[in-house]
């Protein structure tokens, strides 16, 4: 062979271009890579979606199919307590409820119920409702699929043995759901229950007083409230509960079991649409710096500072209202007004709640300079009864509010037809004379 001559493999090694196969398979490492690339990678993702993501979104967060709240027509609510019974803390909770003649629903741990049947017997004897919480207090997301379903059925069965009666309701630990939780509830024949107001008594950074204040701001008619009669949450709930019950009772609330709460039905499409519109109201309020009157969601009105938007308005005493004048503009609490309707109960509540609006006019810095109090809405018949002067709106404004009223009727399914939108207005002095300290409110 001469130097510089290129080496050529013998023809029997060149073959037809095929590479040698290893262990009778084609392609070696590259072939294995091609095999791996053909694996249906989407199957684990699909399984995770069906088992965890969809139930978490649809049931745990949207509460579809669960009991979440009742109607807001009456001042009643359902207090619920998780994680008991505990022989140290549960009796104190029962004592506080008994002192105020309040009923509640207890979601109990099966083993604790079996260990303390005397506490379960006391709950039932005093008119409370006993429901199932869990056999083992473990978050549904970290359980095996079969363990999640069996926990529901076993807890329901064991609690029923202690109470001597069928169990109607179940709430999983942390309110967490997977497909197994849903199937377990169906197999056990129980209705899932969530909540509309969470006390967060388990938070280490909240004092008992802070938990109570949080609840008083958030509780409204029809609320299902979750607290704890055992565990870390009980350390806040036990000292807080007597004062909470007394304050709510002074506001006219009665306390029901979940089964006794009027209008507590499983969340469906109409309820989801209603919640979406409530969320839209919150966005509107945040953008407009509108606050629930007295900081309470059970008030019939929400109030914010505003410049008067209309021209050519003159009050009955001849006082012109200039466009741009500083005002307090109030908006109705839509879900509460829908459930109450324009009726005697809504008139009585408006009389009470306008006194709180008057306090806000004096207390809130953003409202202290307001010269007028007004509302642009279709509830002008109620406003007229409450002593407001009412005036027709310009055609463009009336048309805009009519369209919005139709959208609201669709959003709040079952909302009654309302009157033509009008301006309802009083001067600050006239409003405070009627609803401020010393005012008649009539």
DSSP string, 254-315: EEE-TTTSTT---B-HHHHHHHHHHHHHHHHHHHHT-EEGGG-TTSSEEEEEEE---SSEE-
R_g (Cα) of the chain, nearest Å: 31
CATH number at 245 reads 3.20.20.370
In the block, which residue shows the tokens 């070696």?
A: 28
- Does residue 427 share a domain with residue 335? yes
- Does residue 344 share a domain with residue 425? yes
Over residues 153-186, the pLDDT tens digits come to: 999 999 999 999 999 999 999 999 999 999 999 9
How would you classify residue 441: left for phi > 0, otherwise alpha for psi between -120 and 50, otherwise beta? Answer: left
CA distances to 30, 32, 285 from 36, rounded to whole Å, are 10, 6, 53
Which domain does 314 fall in, by range? 269-435
Work out whether strand 291-292 and strand 301-307 pair parallel, antiparallel, or are unpaired: antiparallel
Query: CB under 8 Å to 368, separation ≥6 — which residues?
Result: 361, 362
Token representation of residue 48: 């995770």
Q: Which residues are catalytic?
A: 82, 228
Token representation of residue 172: 């999983």
Q: What span, in angstroms and rounded, lies between the C-alpha atoms of 263 and 266?
A: 9
Judged against a pLDDT cut of 80, whether residue 116 lies above it is answered with: yes
In the block, which residue shows the tokens 């309040």?
A: 102
Query: What is the rounded average pLDDT for all residues in the chain?
Result: 89
Number of domains in the chain: 2
Token representation of residue 49: 């979606």
- Does residue 316 share a domain with residue 227? no
3-state helix, strand, coil in the chain (%, to 5): 45, 15, 35
Q: What span, in angstroms and rounded, lies between the C-alpha atoms of 59 and 65?
A: 7
Judged against a pLDDT cut of 80, whether residue 203 lies above it is answered with: yes
The residues that bridge with 109 in the sheet, in sequence order, are 134
- Does residue 169 share a domain with residue 69? yes
Q: Evaluate whether residue 146 is within a structural domain.
A: yes
- Does residue 174 share a domain with residue 316? no
- Does residue 223 share a domain with residue 301? no
Q: Evaluate whether residue 11 is within a structural domain.
A: no
pTM: 0.85
Whole-number percent of the chain with pLDDT over 90 = 75
Q: What is the pLDDT of residue 306?
A: 96
DSSP 438: T
User: Do 225 and 79 meet the contact criterion of CB atoms below 8 Å apart?
Assistant: yes
Q: Which of 221, 256, 291 is the last residue of a domain?
A: 256
Q: What span, in angstroms and rounded, lies between the C-alpha atoms of 131 and 421?
A: 47
E runs forming strands in 315-408: 320-321, 326-332, 372-377, 389-391
Among 87-91, 144-148, 162-166, the range scoring the smallest mean pLDDT is 144-148
Over residues 206-236, the pLDDT tens digits come to: 999 999 999 999 999 999 999 999 999 999 9
- Does residue 288 share a domain with residue 235? no
Dihedral angle, C-alpha 68, 247, 210, 304, nearest 10 °: 80
- Does residue 276 share a domain with residue 173? no
Q: Confidence class of residue 42 from pLDDT cuts 50, 70 and 90?
A: confident
Q: What is the pLDDT of residue 394?
A: 93
- Does residue 181 share a domain with residue 281? no
In the block, which residue shows the tokens 């279709």?
A: 378
């Amino acid at each position: 062979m001469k130097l510089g001559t290129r080496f050529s493999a013998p023809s029997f090694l060149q073959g037809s271009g095929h590479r040698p196969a290893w262990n009778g398979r084609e392609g070696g490492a590259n072939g294995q890579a091609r095999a791996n690339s053909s694996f249906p990678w989407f199957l684990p993702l699909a399984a995770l979606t069906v088992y965890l993501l969809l139930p978490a979104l649809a049931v745990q967060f949207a509460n579809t199919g669960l009991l979440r709240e009742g109607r807001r027509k009456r001042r009643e609510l359902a207090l619920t307590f998780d994680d008991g019974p505990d022989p140290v803390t549960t009796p104190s909770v029962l004592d506080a409820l008994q002192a105020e003649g309040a009923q509640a629903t207890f979601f109990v741990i099966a083993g604790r119920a079996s260990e303390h049947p005397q506490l379960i017997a006391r709950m039932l004897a005093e008119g409370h409702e006993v429901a199932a919480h869990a056999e083992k207090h473990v978050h549904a997301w970290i359980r095996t699929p079969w363990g999640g379903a069996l926990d529901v059925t076993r807890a329901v069965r064991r609690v029923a043995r202690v109470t001597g009666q069928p169990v109607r309701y179940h709430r999983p630990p942390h309110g967490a759901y997977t497909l197994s939780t849903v199937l377990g509830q169906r197999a056990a024949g129980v209705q899932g229950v969530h909540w509309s107001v969470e006390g967060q008594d388990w938070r280490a950074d909240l004092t008992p007083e802070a938990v109570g204040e949080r609840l008083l701001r958030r509780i409204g008619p029809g609320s299902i409230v979750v607290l704890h009669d055992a565990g870390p949450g009980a350390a806040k709930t036990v000292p807080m509960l007597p004062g909470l019950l007394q304050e709510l009772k002074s506001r006219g609330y009665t306390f029901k079991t979940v089964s006794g709460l009027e209008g507590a039905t499983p969340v469906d499409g109409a309820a989801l649409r209603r919640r979406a519109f409530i969320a839209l109201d919150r966005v509107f309020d945040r953008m407009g710096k509108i606050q629930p009157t007295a900081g309470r969601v059970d008030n019939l009105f929400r109030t914010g500072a505003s410049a008067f938007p209309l021209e050519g308005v003159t009050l009955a005493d001849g006082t012109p209202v200039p466009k741009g004048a500083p005002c307090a503009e109030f908006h109705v609490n839509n879900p509460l007004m829908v459930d109450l309707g324009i009726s005697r109960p809504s008139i009585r509540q408006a009389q009470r709640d306008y006194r709180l609006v008057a306090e806000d006019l004096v207390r809130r810095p953003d409202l202290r300079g307001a010269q007028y109090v007004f509302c642009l809405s279709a509830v002008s018949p109620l406003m007229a009864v409450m002593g407001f002067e009412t005036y027709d709106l310009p055609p463009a404004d009336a048309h805009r509010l009519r369209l919005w009223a139709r959208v609201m009727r669709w959003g709040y399914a079952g909302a009654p037809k309302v009157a033509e939108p009008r301006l309802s207005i009083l001067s600050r002095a006239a409003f405070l004379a009627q609803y401020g300290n010393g005012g008649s409110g009539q």
